[in-house]
Amino acid sequence: MDVAASIAATGKPLGYSHGVLKPILSHPTLYHTLLAVPVSIWGEAPAAGRSLGVVCFAGAALFVFLTVRRLTTTRWPPVLALALFVLHPLAVNSALLVEIDTTLLVLFATVFFYWLVRLDFQLSLKTSSVLGAFFGVCLLAKLTTPPLFLVALAVYYAVNRDWTNLKWVPLVVFVSAAVFAVVYFPYTLALGLPWYKPFVHPFSRAADVAGASYLVTLAKRAVRIMLWVGLPLILAWGAAVWARRRDWFGGRLAPVDYAAVLGVMIFIGYWLVGGDGYGFVKYHAPLVPLLAIFLAVHFGPAVARERARSLVFILGLAFAFYLLAARDSLYYPYAARELTEVRGVSPGAVRTALLLTGGTYLFPILSFGLIARAGRRAMVVFLVGLAAGPALIVNQLYKPYSHRYNYGEAGLEDAIGTVDSYPEDAAVVVPLDVAFGDDYRHPHKTAESVLGDRDELLAAISAADTALVIFRDSYYLHGPWRGNIKDPGVRTVLRTDFERVRSGSFEYYVRETGGAVVE
């Protein structure tokens, strides 16, 4: 938001990073430039920030419907695809996140696929040039996910041994690179911006892919992905791919299979890389419309054959079960380590919660699989997933969760309120989004900027004017923050000079009066 406001006011992408105002160019500036339009009209209000996401969500929904309508001849698949997308919890929450991946990339992935379907995947000099120009626009949003669009297209042609169309892919690459260069480099060089940043940033975020700790990281990310994408839909996706295995290995990919190929690349790629230790589910947001298209085309005819009362029974029972049984146990698999190490919850309580979570996912799948007629079990899993989406959304409405990537986090608004209650000259060490929510009114250091260096962290909390320190529970679970925050010297200062208070998913260390922790 602050970057968009800076572009609206000065034309430069400036924002606070580690407490310092400087150029923000982790990615090309298309997203922030578009966001600058509503921000210039309504200011840095939540509605302004979310307006672009809502527009992208509506646009993606439209192209999901249009794509499936061109891929099929019956009325059910387009309706199912639309329902899968607009009811999916990751899609709905993504629309409200001020983020590139969850807004522009969701729309761009859908438009790119729709365009290929309209062309019947047949390229020429003209269509390759136009497609390349559009892809250049995609690169102006981000340099990581969009290249997968073309890699998947090359795989599609290669598997089908369609060398005639495959030869046009380099032209698409060339035109897109030219469009990107003509727009990006003059802009950054004219304003004196660090043009190289978007090319360096993705590599700096890549995870270490060695050692046992990486396997633990992958397991934690897998839980988060399963939670947000939905285990029933992932199983249905696997069942659909398995049903088409002979065509896939026989070099007979259908146009809809492009969605599955690209979806697999996004799913696995960002599971293995995933950004920070806990992973960013936002990277998987472009997967949702692809998943909706592929599953709707595959299962649509079978769903159309089901009697209305069967659909009502399956959807109603699945919805009720998820709504009543899921509750906070959805959060427990990821949080089990946090619950035991940070909050002191007994292992027995965690095991009970994990059993509840297992029941949440497995009971509907097993029960509906048993009552389904032969040959329809995969379709039933698909319907359970369709019902699970809105159930999870409704369930979240009653939780004080933030729209942060750490699903299940509670108390962000309270943390902001606590900082706001302090005099404006009181220095604080708080998470970046807490400082942003407080409009950067207090002298501050962001927790993320000091937790990576033990000496810097110790200096920040030892400063005489530091009145308040706030840490997230997740800081205790991920390196390199985990080691520094549990350093004996750091713990001594925190225990000696501060009073520890817990609120939601945050830990407060209060030194001075004048502010109040919001319980």
Phi and psi at residue 429, in whole multiples of 5°? -120, 105
pTM of this prediction? 0.75
Q: For residues 89 and 228, is the Cβ–Cβ distance under 8 A?
A: yes
Phi and psi at residue 417, in whole multiples of 5°? -65, -35
Q: For residues 274 and 265, is the Cβ–Cβ distance under 8 A?
A: no
DSSP secondary structure letters along 281-330: GGGGTTHHHHHHHHHHHHHHHHHHHS-HHHHHHHHHHHHHHIIIIIGGGG
Q: For residues 72 and 297, is the Cβ–Cβ distance under 8 A?
A: yes
Q: What residues does each domain of the chain span?
A: 2-305, 412-510
pLDDT digits (tens), the chain, 519 positions: 678 888 888 888 887 665 566 778 888 989 999 999 998 888 877 778 888 988 999 999 999 999 999 999 887 889 888 888 887 877 877 777 778 998 999 999 999 999 999 999 999 999 999 999 999 999 999 998 999 999 999 999 999 999 999 999 999 999 999 999 999 999 999 988 888 888 887 666 554 454 456 776 777 777 777 767 877 678 778 888 888 888 888 888 999 999 999 999 999 988 887 655 556 778 899 999 999 999 889 888 776 666 555 565 556 555 554 544 444 444 445 556 666 666 666 777 767 766 665 555 555 555 555 545 444 555 555 666 666 566 555 555 544 444 444 555 678 888 999 999 999 889 999 998 888 888 888 999 989 889 888 899 999 999 989 999 999 887 876 656 778 888 899 999 999 999 999 887 889 999 855 445 544
Query: What is the Cα–Cα distance from 113 to 95, expressed in whole angstroms?
Result: 20
Rounded to the nearest 10°, the torsion over CA 218, 219, 220, 223 is 120
Q: What is the pLDDT of residue 390?
A: 61
Q: Name 16's bridge partners.
A: 21
Record the tokens describing residue 49, joined without a space: 């920030």
Q: pLDDT tens across 418-471, in order? A: 999 999 889 999 998 888 888 888 999 989 889 888 899 999 999 989 999 999
Dihedral sign computed on CA atoms, order 123, 129, 134, 139: positive
